[in-house]
Structure 1
């Protein structure tokens, strides 16, 4: 995958989080997708400098090329988003986590979408500041 719109669309799909990465899976928009398994990799600057990010992307590419042809979901886009601990993780452990994540995605068992942590139910955050409702003024006694 190379287009930004494909990555943004994948964000609406199934999300499976692991310690080293987050896997997003979304069916292709094209009805004739067939057996095609596309993939994309994203590693943000929060992870580290260019050397660290490129190393993580190389590791993810190697994982995807090894695992996706056999274990990927046919007719789906797969996006790996790097997480902070992903660079130091053992490659065999990353491979195992990706297989588990693909199995969960195949079963439709994704994690809750981002921002759905429960609580107040949306809207503006309340920080406890401000005056709030004022009490009614007391009437003078005569």
Structure 2
């Protein structure tokens, strides 16, 4: 089987309404102090994970409108289980936060034992949307 030929007219293979990548920028939290500040902020527990949300102060410099962090303790399982849980959390954040997250916020995802890695992916996405609605005060 031969691979398909690239278009010769300069067009791209993908079509449709895609948003430019610059507008979907999400930075990752790496400093312990940021995680500690988020732990004192609002939180929502879902069956698959815990989500914390903290508004950043004006003096906290960051060029990204949304920052996100991920954590899974040893209670989640061994390194393989923790890494799988964090991969799944990163993916739901990547799919949802650029569209439903709020600028100037820090979000921290905390994995749960035997739930984050085991729940169906659609349930995790639905849990995130519900958690964001709760944290943002959206009434339904």
Checking the alignment, whether the CA contact within 8 Å between 2:70 and 2:109 is kept in structure 1 is: yes
- The answer for unaligned runs of 5 or more in structure 2 is 1-28
Count of matched residue positions in the alignment of Structure 1 and Structure 2: 109
Structure 1 runs (4+) deviating above 6 angstroms are none
**For 1:9-88, what aligned pairs fall within 5 Å after superposition?**
9-31=37-59, 36-84=65-113, 85-88=115-118
- The answer for unaligned runs of 5 or more in structure 1 is 110-142
- Higher alpha-carbon Rg: 1
Secondary structure at 2:74 match in 1: coil
Which of the residues 105, 121, 124 maps onto 1:94? Answer: 124
Q: Could you report, residue by residue, the CA deviation over 1:52-92 in whole angstroms, capped at 9, with x for unpaired residues? A: 00001111111111100000122100000001111100000
TM-score normalised to the size of structure 2?
0.73
- Could you say what the CA RMSD is over the residues aligned between the two structures, in angstroms? 1.9
Checking the alignment, whether the CA contact within 8 Å between 1:14 and 1:25 is kept in structure 2 is: yes
TM-score normalised to the size of structure 1?
0.72
**Distance in 2 between the 1:91 and 1:35 partners?**
27
Checking the alignment, whether the CA contact within 8 Å between 2:88 and 2:116 is kept in structure 1 is: no
